[in-house]
């Protein structure tokens, strides 16, 4: 009983000192088993290194470790055949799996065990993270160098732990690609998906087809702003180009191999092929010259499945496979419009000759044929989940990005799957309120959402779940023009992904992870990485919404701070109200907040408007109901949240017809005004309605108009903008309120849903 009491006291102490424990063992990704031990191992001039492995790669890893320690500490550690005290011992243990390792640190020695060089490499990454962040630096630091006592047994949960980089939309130099790989290594990721070709640029030298880089690697200009922001579109008039020679690509392969990372190249087909077609027009259905794409999005010119196209692609793949020794070659397969195929005599002849089921069957034929060729070379293909359409190639691995359904279908059919759903794995999405963030493609993926992702869908049986190889983070670069932009979008979200793919679910803990991130930011600084600091910012979410009341939760990912806030529009400071529970708003307000530590502000100031009215949190009748975009909930127009012009995720859109919204106030109310948020988005054919009217009723049948506003037509062209008309009228008693919005008529952008225009709305308030 006394023993159990001591154990309980220890556990309570450890739980109460979670911050201390996490700071002492700030390892990301978290090991499967970590047992704290007393004391620490101190490195000094007498420390020895013992390597008992016969594998020369492990000896080299030990030498690399010694060299880095000498660089930052000045210590010269001698390699000896045998030592038990004041030693770092590399010991072979054949009972451990390939990437597994064990690590025991005591005051006498560090004993590292593994069966392969992979395991040794990951053990060393853990040792680095047990030391001060300066161990990642490039200069001598006069300080104590020690490793806290610990016993670790560790192995990855998934075999595939990936990170992607798009170099087609914007080209990044070899030096940055190496830096990116270095960052992958400290997160114990092992697959680098290199997206080398797309509509906007071909980035790999192919000796048999020199025009791919002479022509296809360069576009004359690039789109300005969001792809859906401006109409007519605007461009920057700056040529953009660049490519990697085959020697440079081989250097990246070698560099990655030294860090136990496999480079998986992607050569897009049959869609996203404008750059290749611009170089060699015979590859398209129309055989007409085109330009390397300067817009983002999906282009209609795609590879035509003629024999000459397949010969071209086989020749390209021969050179690709000669450069990249990876088991997998990624062939894209996504977002392939069928417009050209439908009217192409050669495509229709192929469909008839092969007895295919239309154009979807033709795409399946295309993928099958390429897979057969790649398989003949002893390799396998990966494709985005569109390769499921029309029938999946027999040996293909599916990369599920359009949600999880593609991965579920492939796994149930017995195919290997890599999960990368955009809702959890697309690092080009906003990581905080879009109004405060650099422009990007859209979406919303905060750090915690990445961390909570579970790659094995609940719909799969345990046997089916074995087909999930792992998961991958994707970094698309339409809006990441510089290497700093890429770093901002990738870090620290990749740290969260690292735990998703490495750490067992029962070892994951959000509070422990976010406490450890403080040390991870210091490591990023030593590595010259510029991460997002959203971690230190305040964010909000609605806890509940009801008539004339809104409960707003303020929070921050950083656990080591307090939040100070105001609701009267004034700037918060260290003396402002301390946040301790949800803020209750009974009228429309602007909340401003800052995170503080030791009376010093952290991160950006939070500022957001909230609408509170008689219809806050109320349902409403919307006609028509078949809208283009329904917002984020059935209360999208009454949830208290105000939309912004950087993302249309919060907006409700009604396409091609007039809009009508009816609010039931449940009882007779006196009202005098209505406000509605409207978005002008000309590239989406989204225009301010030329006429907005408000009508009221006692019975919901007979309505009387009480106010209207004609919105000037000059608001309907140009760039994105927001207008919030407030329709004021004499006091009226009513139960039902009807808002009618007139459609602006045919849109000017014929490429957007056939030119049909739409009304785009956000928060509505009635007082």
Positions annotated as catalytic residues are 198, 272, 335
Distances (CA, A) of 603 to 371, 430, 542, 557, 558: 49, 17, 22, 11, 10
Are the C-beta atoms of 227 and 300 separated by less than 8 Å?
no
Cβ burial, residue 680 (10 Å; 0-12/13-18/19+)? buried
How far is residue 129's CA from residue 524's CA, in Å, rounded to a whole number? 12
Buried b (16+ CB within 10 A) or exposed e, 41-66: bebeeebbbbbebebeebbebbeebb
How far is residue 271's CA from residue 303's CA, in Å, rounded to a whole number? 7
Nearest CA to 278 out of 385, 168, 373 is that of 168
Q: In 10 A of CB 499, how many CB atoms? A: 27
How far is residue 723's CA from residue 741's CA, in Å, rounded to a whole number? 14
Q: CA 31 from chain center: how many Å?
A: 24
| Helix, coil or strand: residue 439 | coil
Nearest CA to 572 out of 536, 542, 538 is that of 538
The DSSP output letter for 283 is G
Does an H or E element contain 67, and which? Answer: helix 56-73
How far is residue 458's CA from residue 682's CA, in Å, rounded to a whole number? 41
Are the C-beta atoms of 611 and 762 separated by less than 8 Å?
no
| Helix, coil or strand: residue 553 | strand
- The token pair that represents 473 in the structure block: 């983070």
């Amino acid at each position: 009983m006394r023993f159990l009491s001591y154990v309980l006291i220890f556990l309570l102490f450890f739980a109460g000192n979670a911050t201390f424990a996490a700071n002492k063992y700030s390892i990301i990704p978290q090991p499967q088993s970590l047992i704290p031990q007393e004391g620490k191992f101190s490195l000094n001039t007498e420390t020895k290194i013992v390597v008992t492995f016969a594998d020369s790669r492990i000896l080299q890893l030990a030498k690399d470790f010694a060299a880095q320690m000498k660089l930052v500490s000045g210590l010269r550690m001698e390699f000896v055949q045998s030592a038990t005290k004041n030693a770092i011992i590399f010991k072979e243990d054949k009972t451990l799996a390939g990437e597994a390792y064990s690590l025991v640190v005591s005051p006498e020695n560090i004993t590292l065990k593994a069966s392969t060089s992979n395991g040794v490499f990951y053990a060393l990454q853990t040792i680095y993270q047990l030391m001060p962040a300066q161990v990642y630096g490039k200069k001598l630091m006069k300080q104590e160098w020690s490793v806290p006592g610990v016993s670790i047994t560790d192995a990855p949960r998934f075999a595939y732990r990936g990170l992607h980089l798009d170099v087609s939309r914007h080209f990044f130099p070899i030096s940055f690609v190496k830096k990116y790989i270095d960052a992958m290594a400290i997160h114990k990721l092992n697959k680098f998906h290199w997206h080398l070709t797309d509509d906007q640029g071909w980035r790999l030298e192919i000796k048999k087809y020199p025009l791919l880089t002479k022509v296809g690697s360069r576009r004359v200009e690039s789109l300005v702003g969001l792809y859906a922001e401006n109409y007519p579109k605007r461009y920057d008039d700056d040529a953009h180009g660049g490519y990697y020679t085959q020697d440079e690509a081989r250097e990246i392969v070698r560099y990655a191999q030294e860090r136990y990372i496999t480079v998986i190249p992607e050569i897009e087909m049959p869609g996203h092929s404008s750059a290749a077609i611009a170089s060699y027009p015979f590859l398209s259905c129309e055989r007409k010259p085109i330009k390397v794409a300067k817009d983002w999005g999906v282009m209609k010119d795609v590879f035509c499945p003629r024999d000459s196209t397949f010969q071209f692609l086989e020749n390209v793949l021969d050179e690709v496979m000669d450069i990249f020794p990876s088991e997998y070659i990624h062939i894209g397969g996504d977002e392939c419009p069928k417009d050209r195929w439908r009217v192409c005599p050669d495509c229709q002849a192929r469909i008839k000759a092969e007895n295919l089921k239309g154009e979807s069957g033709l795409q399946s034929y295309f993928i099958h044929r390429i897979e057969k060729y790649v398989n003949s070379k002893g390799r396998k293909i990966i494709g985005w989940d569109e390769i499921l359409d029309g029938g999946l190639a027999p040996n293909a691995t599916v990369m599920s990005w359009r949600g999880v359904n593609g991965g579920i279908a492939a796994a149930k059919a017995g195919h290997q799957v890599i999960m990368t759903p955009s809702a959890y794995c697309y690092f080009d999405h906003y990581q905080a309120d879009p109004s405060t963030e650099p422009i990007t493609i859209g979406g919303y993926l905060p750090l915690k959402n990445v961390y909570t992702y579970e790659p094995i869908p609940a719909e799969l049986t345990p046997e089916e779940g074995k087909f999930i190889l792992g998961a991958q983070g994707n970094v698309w670069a339409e809006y990441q023009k510089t290497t700093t932009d890429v770093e901002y979008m990738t870090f620290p979200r990749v740290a969260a992904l690292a735990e998703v793919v490495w750490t067992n679910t029962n070892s994951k803990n959000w509070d422990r992870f976010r406490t450890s991130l403080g040390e991870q930011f210091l490591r990023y600084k030593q590595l010259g990485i510029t991460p997002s600091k959203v971690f230190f910012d305040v964010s909000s979410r609605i806890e509940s919404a009801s008539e004339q009341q809104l409960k707003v939760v303020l929070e921050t990912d950083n656990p080591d701070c307090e939040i100070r806030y105001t609701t009267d529009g004034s700037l918060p400071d260290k003396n402002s109200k301390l946040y301790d529970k949800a803020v209750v708003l009974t009228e429309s307000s602007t909340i401003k907040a800052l995170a503080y530590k030791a009376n010093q502000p952290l991160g950006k100031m939070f500022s957001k408007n909230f609408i509170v009215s008689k219809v806050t949190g109320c349902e409403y009748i919307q006609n028509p109901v078949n809208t283009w975009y329904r917002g984020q909930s059935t209360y999208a127009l009454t949830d208290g949240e105000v939309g912004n012009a950087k993302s249309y995720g919060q907006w409700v859109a009604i396409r091609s017809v007039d809009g009508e919204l009816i609010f039931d106030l449940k009882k007779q109310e006196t009202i005098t005004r209505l406000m509605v948020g409207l978005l002008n988005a000309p590239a989406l054919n989204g225009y301010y309605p030329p006429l907005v009217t408000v009508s009221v009723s006692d019975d919901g049948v007979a309505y009387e108009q009480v106010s209207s506003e004609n919105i000037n037509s000059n608001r309907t062209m140009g760039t994105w903008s927001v207008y919030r008309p407030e329709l004021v009228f004499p006091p009226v008693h009513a139960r039902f309120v009807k808002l009618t919005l007139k459609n602006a008529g045919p849109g000017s952008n014929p490429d957007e849903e056939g030119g049909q225009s739409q009304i785009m709305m956000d928060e509505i308030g009635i007082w």
